[in-house]
Amino acid sequence: MSVTLRAIEEGDLENIMRWRMAEEITRYMNTNPKLTMDGQKKWLAGIRENADVQYWLIRVNGEPAGVINLTGLTKADGVLGWAYYVGEQRLRSIQTALALEMSMYDHALIELGKRAVISDVFTLNKGVIQLHRICGCEVLEEKKDHVLKEGISYDVTFMRMTAERWREIREDKKYEKIIFP
């Protein structure tokens, strides 16, 4: 398995739009968007101009697979948000997920020198919560009925990795190092 990241290009937008509207992806997200290519082009222009966020295309064995992002890059408190998805089901694996998450901690907490990284996960997404725990995250809180989507309320679990904790545990973690360009 080889996982690489690169900046998102206009040629990626059709795949990103398809992935982001797929039920298997949206069921764990705050929205079920109805995207258009025009809207995707505006989104790409917006993220390129926004110093507070950074998005990368995930490639597995050279094939476009998904998206990973960081938010809060300009916040003074040094706490980032992050999210990712692998939209190509055949390219998903636990090894890819572990490599993405732990390499992101290296990038955010060591290379960028940020204080912490937080994530919010639908509580019903037990697999991702377990993955975050394997990587060393702590649960901060669970908010009941935190997201209302299409008339249904969802509980959300908030999780965190601090720079201090990551420095303590990272040497014991085995993962393929992914470079964040």
Written as six digits, the tokens of 99 are: 């490599």
Round to whole Å and give the CA distance between 158 and 105: 16
pTM (two decimals): 0.95
Q: What is the pLDDT of residues 108-148, one digit of tens each?
A: 999 999 999 999 999 999 999 999 999 999 999 999 999 99
Q: Is the pLDDT of residue 1 over 90?
A: no
Q: Is the pLDDT of residue 52 over 90?
A: yes
Q: Count other Cβ atoms within 10 Å, centred on residue 83.
A: 15
CA-nearest of 96, 82, 119 to 178 is 96
CA-nearest of 9, 4, 1, 33 to 20 is 33
CATH of domain 3-172: 3.40.630.30
